């Protein structure tokens, strides 16, 4: 069998190969391994677009695995398949008819096997044109995709399982948020200024604009994206990269680009976990439909949801897993040690110009934002936990919205289970797509979040040097088997109540590292020691595990832990340093923090 990929008239080979941020020349050549003049000629008559590649089915499958998982619905015998990848549409033509007689879901690894083309039942038939079959793709976009078959719970489980990757394909994704402000007034950026900045970045550095209606609300470039949080916080979602050196280079490149445009506008960016000076009434609201729905809903479910939306910034790292068991182990280790990360990176001690009584106000806010969708997820430590149990949890988290016809439909408080059954009151009879499921997963906010990778979400935003330190901390602990097992051994007998106690104590205690270390030692049943001993036996042990893990990776990445090592050695968190400056050199003013933590 031979296959041809053809564009829809708007898709060139260059667009195809750049969809995932570029393809090596060697891979481009491999896609043209076949030469079938008769098939190519026939397909050219059918398609009005460029013929992109002639290839074997096995090569096609290998290539598609670089993209997002697909759902297939078969309706008839066919020789052409429509494939959608992000916003690009392709036709796949074959030289033999495909017998498509059933709906086929993703395999346990999330991708079809090479023995059956695209996971469909394939039967060789005499050559003749048949009917067309549409394949629904589900990339992470807010564009609706029409489903011809209902999703099942098992589809949702398979979606999460499709994230499993072999170790050599594990990558590091770093996301960070920052507050934009006017140099002259220190006031937050208005949307109009943000739009000018986004347009400037697009024009000067070749980013693609993301629009909602007439508003530019983000940018994309390869596998990177820039987005806006509800109060205009500027977020970079980095590409999945192989090493911490690449991650840090990406951050530096982003900050260079942003500064190049922003400084000409009189705009700076602040790396801190909570807005230090301005109240909610001073924060602009971004013109995004989903945020309007969230803003109206938050006060109904917690006292600090609006603060979370408009006045917090975080840095997080996204990491891969190889199997369901590997996901479980990393999930548990990440949850258990998240309070340690919160302590080391605590950096939000001010609110509206004064100390707020917390070292991580951002972390404290999550304790009363919406407890249906935040917290330490004790069920992750149950013996029965796996992808299916996380799906059950996510199905029971109340919905925020559904995106249809380029607008957000308010579904706050409603059940995704009802949506699966076609019984969602705002859109009765309509069924969800995998896009809807992916969007729903982004509205869940635990300390560690599962999508098709794991997100470590416990750290405050900070200056650039800490943007490389956080991924180094977690990569060292979770991407090395020895370090990961040591973490699991250390935390194995902690109870649900003890983990929750650590989580709730961490944000606000003076001498934060000392107290967290003391609590950890109690949980680990270690004898009490002096303060230096506490740090040596807990924080330094965790740091050493991370450092050794990085060294075993062999990329010379341990230097990125320098910022963490400084905090652990001194026992003084970034927030405590800021408070010392506030009470001393700054003379009781928070204004100097805009210079101290300026990117």
Residue 14 has pLDDT above 80, yes or no: no
Could you tell me the pLDDT band of residue 73, with boundaries at 50, 70 and 90? very low
Among 230, 234, 229, CA closest to 200? 234
User: Is there a contact between 67 and 101 (Cβ–Cβ < 8 Å)?
Assistant: no
* Mean pLDDT computed over 350-361: 96
Could you tell me the pLDDT band of residue 444, with boundaries at 50, 70 and 90? very high
**What pLDDT, on a 0 to 100 scale, did the predictor assign at position 542?**
95
Residue 365 has pLDDT above 90, yes or no: yes
The 10s digit of each residue's pLDDT in 273-285 is 999 999 999 999 9
The 10s digit of each residue's pLDDT in 317-346 is 999 999 999 999 999 999 999 999 999 999
Instruction: Write phi, then psi, for 371 (nearest 5 degrees).
Output: -70, -10
Residue 207 has pLDDT above 50, yes or no: yes
Residue 72 tokens read as 């297939």
Could you tell me the pLDDT band of residue 215, with boundaries at 50, 70 and 90? very high
Q: Which CATH number fits domain 170-397+444-596: 3.30.590.20, 3.30.230.10, 3.40.50.2020, 3.40.50.10190?
A: 3.30.590.20
Q: Where in the chain is the domain with CATH 3.30.590.20?
A: 170-397+444-596
Residue 200 has pLDDT above 90, yes or no: yes
Alpha helices in 180-318 (DSSP H): 191-205, 244-262, 289-297, 305-311
Alpha helices in 354-463 (DSSP H): 361-365, 387-396, 416-420, 434-441
* Mean pLDDT computed over 360-375: 97
Could you tell me the pLDDT band of residue 234, with boundaries at 50, 70 and 90? very high
Give percent of the chain above pLDDT 70: 71
* Mean pLDDT computed over 345-374: 97
Which of the pair, 72 or 364, is modelled with greater confidence? Answer: 364
**What pLDDT, on a 0 to 100 scale, did the predictor assign at position 515?**
73
Residue 128 has pLDDT above 50, yes or no: no
Which of the pair, 33 or 141, is modelled with greater confidence? Answer: 33
CB atoms within 10 A of CB 500: 15
Q: Give the Å distances, CA to CA, from 36 to 4, 328, 392.
A: 9, 47, 48
**What pLDDT, on a 0 to 100 scale, did the predictor assign at position 2?**
62
Could you tell me the pLDDT band of residue 534, with boundaries at 50, 70 and 90? very low
Could you tell me the pLDDT band of residue 101, with boundaries at 50, 70 and 90? very low
Among 76, 71, 42, 60, CA closest to 1? 60
**What pLDDT, on a 0 to 100 scale, did the predictor assign at position 323?**
96
Could you tell me the pLDDT band of residue 520, with boundaries at 50, 70 and 90? low
Q: Give the Å distances, CA to CA, from 92 to 62, 115, 122, 191, 599.
A: 15, 17, 14, 43, 47
Could you tell me the pLDDT band of residue 130, with boundaries at 50, 70 and 90? very low
Task: Round to whole Å and give the CA distance between 268 and 598.
Answer: 7
Residue 110 has pLDDT above 60, yes or no: no
The predicted model scores a pTM of: 0.76
* Mean pLDDT computed over 348-357: 97
**What pLDDT, on a 0 to 100 scale, did the predictor assign at position 489?**
94
User: Is there a contact between 22 and 224 (Cβ–Cβ < 8 Å)?
Assistant: no
Could you tell me the pLDDT band of residue 427, with boundaries at 50, 70 and 90? very high
48: burial class by Cβ within 10 Å (0-12, 13-18, 19+)? exposed
**What pLDDT, on a 0 to 100 scale, did the predictor assign at position 15?**
54
**What pLDDT, on a 0 to 100 scale, did the predictor assign at position 592?**
98
**What pLDDT, on a 0 to 100 scale, did the predictor assign at position 81?**
55
Least confident span in 9-13, 18-22, 193-197, 508-512 = 18-22
Task: Round to whole Å and give the CA distance between 272 and 255.
Answer: 15
The 10s digit of each residue's pLDDT in 142-173 is 343 444 478 999 999 999 999 999 999 999 99
């Amino acid at each position: 069998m031979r296959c041809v990929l053809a564009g829809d008239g708007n898709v060139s080979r260059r667009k195809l190969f750049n969809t995932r941020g570029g393809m090596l020349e060697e891979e481009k050549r491999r896609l043209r391994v076949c030469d079938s003049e008769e098939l190519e000629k026939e397909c050219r008559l059918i398609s009005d677009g460029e013929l992109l590649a002639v290839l074997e089915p096995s090569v096609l499958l290998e290539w598609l695995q670089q993209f997002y998982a697909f759902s297939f619905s078969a309706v008839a015998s066919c020789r052409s398949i429509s494939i959608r990848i992000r916003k690009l549409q392709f036709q796949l033509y074959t030289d033999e008819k495909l017998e498509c007689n059933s709906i086929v879901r993703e395999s346990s690894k999330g991708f079809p096997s090479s023995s059956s083309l695209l996971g469909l039942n394939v039967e060789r038939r005499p050559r003749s044109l048949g009917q067309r079959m549409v394949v629904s793709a589900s990339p992470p976009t807010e564009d609706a995709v029409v489903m011809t078959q209902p999703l099942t719970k098992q589809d949702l489980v398979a979606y999460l399982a499709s994230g499993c990757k072999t170790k050599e394909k594990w990558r590091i994704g770093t996301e960070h948020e920052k507050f934009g402000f006017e140099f002259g007034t220190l006031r937050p950026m208005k949307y109009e200024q943000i739009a000018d900045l986004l347009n400037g970045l697009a024009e000067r550095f070749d980013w693609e604009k993301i629009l909602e209606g007439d508003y530019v609300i983000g940018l994309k470039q390869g596998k990177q994206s820039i987005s806006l949080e509800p109060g205009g916080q500027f977020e970079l979602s980095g590409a999945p990269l192989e090493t911490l050196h690449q991650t840090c280079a990406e951050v530096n490149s982003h900050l260079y680009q942003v500064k190049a445009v922003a400084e000409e506008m009189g705009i700076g960016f602040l790396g801190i976990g909570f807005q230090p000076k301005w109240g909610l009434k001073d924060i602009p609201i971004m013109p995004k439909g989903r945020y309007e729905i969230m803003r109206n809903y938050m006060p109904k479910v917690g006292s600090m949801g609006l603060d979370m939306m408009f006045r917090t910034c975080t840095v997080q790292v996204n990491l891969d897993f190889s199997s369901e068991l590997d996901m479980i182990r990393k999930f548990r280790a990440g949850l258990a040690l998240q309070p340690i990360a919160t302590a080391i990176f605590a950096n939000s001690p001010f609110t509206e110009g004064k100390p707020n009584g917390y070292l991580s106000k951002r972390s404290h806010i999550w304790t009363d934002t919406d407890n249906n969708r935040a917290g330490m997820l004790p069920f992750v430590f149950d013996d029965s936990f796996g992808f299916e149990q996380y799906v059950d949890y996510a199905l029971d988290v109340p919905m925020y919205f559904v995106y249809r016809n380029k607008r957000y439909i308010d579904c706050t408080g409603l059940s995704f289970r009802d949506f699966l059954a076609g019984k969602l009151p705002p859109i009765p009879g309509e069924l969800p797509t995998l896009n809807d499921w992916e969007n729903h997963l982004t509205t869940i906010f635990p300390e560690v979040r599962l999508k098709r990778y794991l997100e470590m979400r416990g750290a405050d935003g900070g200056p650039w040097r800490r943007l490389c330190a956080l991924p180094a901390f977690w990569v060292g602990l979770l991407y090395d088997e020895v370090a990961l097992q040591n973490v699991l051994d250390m935390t194995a007998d902690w109870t649900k109540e003890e983990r929750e106690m650590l989580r709730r104590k961490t944000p606000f205690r003076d001498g934060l590292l000392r107290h967290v270390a003391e609590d950890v030692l109690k949980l680990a049943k270690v004898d009490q020691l002096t303060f230096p001993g506490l740090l040596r036996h807990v924080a330094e042990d965790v740091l050493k595990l991370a450092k050794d893990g990085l060294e075993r990776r062999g990329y010379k990445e341990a230097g990125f832990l320098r910022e963490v090592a400084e905090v652990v050695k001194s026992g003084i968190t970034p927030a405590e340093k800021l408070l010392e400056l506030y009470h001393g050199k700054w003379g009781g003013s928070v204004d100097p923090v805009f210079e101290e933590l300026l990117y």
